[in-house]
Chain A
Amino acid sequence: MSIDNQAAPTTPAGRTNDGAPANLTHGAGASVTMPARGPEPQPRGAIIRGNRPIDQQEAARRFMAAPEHLAMHDQRLWDLRQKRDGQKEIIEEWEDLRQLASDIKTHTLTHLDTYLEQFEKNAIANGVKVHWAKDAAEHNSIVAEILRSKNAKSLIKSKSMLTEECGFREAMAEAGVQVVETDLGERIQQLDNENPSHVVVPAVHKLRTDVAEVFAKTLGSDPNNSDVSYLTEQQREHTRPLILKADAGMTGCNFAVAETGSVVVCTNEGNADLSANTTGLHIVSMGIEKIIPNLNSLAVFVRMLSRSALGSPITQYTSHFRGPRRGAEMHIVIVDNGRTDRLGLEKFWTSLKCIRCGACMNTCPVFRRSGGLSYGATYAGPIGLIIDPTFNRHKYSTLPFSSTMNGSCTNVCPVKINIHEQIADWRQVLAENHEIPAFKKSMMKAAGALLASPKLYRASLPMADSALRHLPRFVLYNKLNTWTRGREMPHVPKETFHQWYKRTRGMDGKKK
């Protein structure tokens, strides 16, 4: 799914279209020599250091140090959350629909083999060639082989998180296939050589001045023109010819309907149809969890998806692909890539219910303030925190801690995944498997020992004589005392409640 709000018609705070300070009138601007100040540079995502755990906080700090990006990102996503809230108020049966959607997914996931077989049978009957891939590498080589057999050298594709997961573009580059993304946001990210930062709005972290810069570098457009229509047109002019002469097309899959063997893709730009129908070869990349039983259940998800994602009743296009067009070929690659293993995780298997609507990201206060790329993983935000560790427990061991576990994600999730509880469960799994920093573990050991002993605990309070003496234990144990970087210390009262009670009421609790 995708939307076209990458270059929203808002001007970054304090700037006009041409980049001059907004508080100057035209005349004043012309008569005063202005120090040249370019647009705020785009903060980049997490620094990847091989298999080392991602430092989300470091990247988040850089994002928050870019005020225009931060304000735009937070507000744009908050607007989506509010529009979503508006939609939910219109639908009287909203909470029942969430339950129904959750139940359908639970049912399907617990009968996955049956439905996948049914889907395969019906798809084959429709004239589709079905392939099974156990992991990313197999997915990429199956697609490369299909392309090679057709002598296809260029591929147009619509947005698919699964292909991101598979490192597909890199694999195609190695195979000598030119890939062109047809979703505008995804295309911007491709041209900028950056991952999507959000499952629905992949370039939402970019200001339009960032887009102007990317297009100037890659398409040769005017670097100083960040007008939305101009940018869109530049991109279109450049990409259309590539699309029209492409050899093959690829789409992802929002829903795979077992009963009909058809694949359903939801977009706002119509680019899935473009990708599927322009050439004589349509390849669908689909995760095994995309399966749903029938068209009746599809109706439930179609009502939920766009409302949850963007607060619009439905996407502009809901495209059903049932079989190849006359004279064309259609292939579906059904991919596992760790999903079966995830299905076996008692506390985490329900994360497979996810329909990638991004609502949990839009509502997440941490995500809105740190940007999706700060997570350094294919999946960012709340859903990312609970599925990334299934791909690489060590590298993504820090992510479940990038959350306050406030629970808003769980409440907006259209398929009722208990996201914040799974975040807590991941913390436990990681701590027990020595995947949390040693200092944290020893701090918690010490805190646990102290708090379990009233004598030691009380004795520890008046012992230390500094501004830190009364800080809660978890603060005191943090040698860095990070509290005061962005906040003032709390006022320290003369006596604790405990001391007051003892003084005024005595040990027996009788008023003195």
Chain B
Amino acid sequence: MRVGLFVPCYVDAFHPEVGQATLELLERFGCEVEYPFDQTCCGQPMTNTGCHKESKATEELFVRNFKDYDYIVAPSGSCVNHIRNNFDAVAQTDDVKHVREHTYELVEFLHAVLKVDGFPWAEFPHKVALHNNCNALRGLNIASMTELREKKFSKPRDLLGMVKGLELVDITRPDECCGFGGTFSVFEEATSARMGQDKARDQAKSGAEYVTSSDSSCMMHQEGCAKRLGLPTKYIHISQILNGERV
């Protein structure tokens, strides 16, 4: 199985360790992973701001980079949501359709495609609170949603449940948006920061030592808010825990 690894721009710049963990984890499960060198971004920042025309060339580049892979995997629900559900600036050719249908967020890829049943190398003896990115939750459906009357499930919880020693703790408003929101985080800075601070307080109150998520973008924002408030909570991407990183 040939997998193209997509490392979103902020992961590339701020959290290279997340890209590394994702790569190693996929290799542990026998995937033939390649990192196309010409990748930049999925186009989400522009589309998110209403500027679809401005994201067209970026989307085209993305398709050129990834069209030849069986699957495309990224450690980011919001980018994958953009590609799968909002990738409309480009003409919908067969290549584009292939890319849109075969791009997966890491957790759902492990859960639904690889159907993994364990991470024998992983151990994380800590209290952990899970944060589901809103796009991963409501766009990709990686877990059931508190607003809907539906059967409860959670793909990230299933995976974290296979990690030795890890104890999941609940926060009071699990599905509440943390206020990152892409360009919202800078254009509507005050509301964004306040939402992030409220989220960070809720996480700290739960007794979690670590917060984990399949999205680095939300966590980058939450971590910045927690630090500003002087809270001790630490933030770690789910790929690192599943890949057996010791802290």
Q: Which A residues are within 8 Å of any B CB, using their own CB?
A: 56-57, 60-61, 64, 74, 78, 85, 88-89, 91-92, 94-95, 363, 365-366, 369-370, 400-408, 410-412, 420, 424, 426-432, 436, 440-441, 444-445, 447-454, 457, 461, 470-475, 478, 480, 482-483, 485-493, 495-502, 505, 507, 509
Contact = CB atoms under 8 A, between A and B. Distances in A.
B195 interface: yes
A454 B224 contact: no
Interface stretch (B105-113, B142-150, B161-169, B204-212): B142-150
A403 B184 contact: yes
B245 interface: no
A454 B184 contact: no
B143 to A, nearest CB: 13
Given A95-B149, A475-B186, A502-B37, 10 more contacts: A411-B145, A412-B147, A427-B49, A428-B47, A428-B52, A451-B57, A483-B185, A487-B224, A492-B13, A497-B11
B191 A454 contact: no
B194 interface: yes
A472 B9 contact: yes
Given A407-B138, A491-B14, A448 B191 contact: no
The A contact surface, by secondary structure, is: helix
Contacts of A440: 49, 187
B10 to A, nearest CB: 5
Given A64-B190, A402-B191, A500-B20, A488 B227 contact: yes
Q: Which of A406, A441, A449, A500 has the most CB of B within 10 A?
A: A406
B171 interface: no
Contacts of A85: 146-147
The B contact surface, by secondary structure, is: helix
Interface stretch (B119-127, B172-180, B236-244): B172-180
Interface in B32-60: 33-35, 37-41, 43, 45-58, 60
B193 A431 contact: no
B54 to A, nearest CB: 3
A448 B57 contact: yes
Contacts of A505: 35
A485 B189 contact: yes
Contacts of B53: 432, 448
Contact of B35 (A474, A475, A509): A509
Given A407-B138, A451-B41, A452-B57, A365 B177 contact: yes
Contacts of A57: 187-191
28 contacts: A56-B188, A61-B190, A64-B191, A88-B149, A91-B149, A366-B191, A406-B177, A407-B135, A407-B138, A407-B139, A431-B50, A441-B51, A444-B45, A452-B58, A454-B38, A454-B40, A454-B61, A472-B45, A474-B45, A482-B186, A483-B185, A486-B194, A486-B197, A487-B196, A487-B225, A487-B227, A501-B23, A507-B37
Nearest to A502: B37
Contacts of A370: 191
B77 interface: no
B25 interface: no
A296 to B, nearest CB: 22
A454 B196 CA distance: 32
Contacts of A453: 40, 61
Contacts of A472: 9-10, 13, 45
Interface in B199-247: 220-221, 223-225, 227-228
Contacts of B181: 403-406
B73 interface: no
B211 to A, nearest CB: 15
A303 to B, nearest CB: 13
Contact of A64 (B54, B182, B194): B194
Contact of B51 (A411, A431, A454, A501): A431
Contact of A451 (B23, B33, B40, B192): B40
A486 B196 contact: yes
Contact of A404 (B15, B41, B61, B180): B180
A339 B146 CA distance: 33
A451 B191 contact: no
Contact of A490 (B49, B51, B188, B223): B223
A490 B14 contact: yes
Contacts of A408: 134, 138, 147, 175-177
Q: Which 3 A-B pairs have the closest CB atoms?
A: A486-B193, A404-B181, A427-B50
A454 B14 contact: no
A13 to B, nearest CB: 15
A265 B147 CA distance: 27
A470 B180 contact: no
B70 interface: no
Interface string B7-33: 101111111111110010000000001
B55 A448 contact: yes
A506 to B, nearest CB: 10
A311 to B, nearest CB: 13
B228 A496 contact: no
Nearest to A454: B38
Contacts of B39: 454
B39 to A, nearest CB: 7
A452 B134 contact: no
Contact of A486 (B34, B86, B173, B190): B190
Nearest to B181: A404
A502 B35 CA distance: 10
B92 interface: no
B150 A485 contact: no
A456 to B, nearest CB: 9
A365 B13 contact: no
B68 to A, nearest CB: 14
Contacts of A402: 188, 191
Q: Which of B34, B50, B188 has the most CB of A within 10 A?
A: B50
A454 B37 contact: yes
B154 interface: no
Nearest to B222: A487
Given A402-B188, A486-B194, A444 B146 contact: no
A124 to B, nearest CB: 42
Nearest to A498: B12
A490 B17 CA distance: 14
Nearest to B57: A452
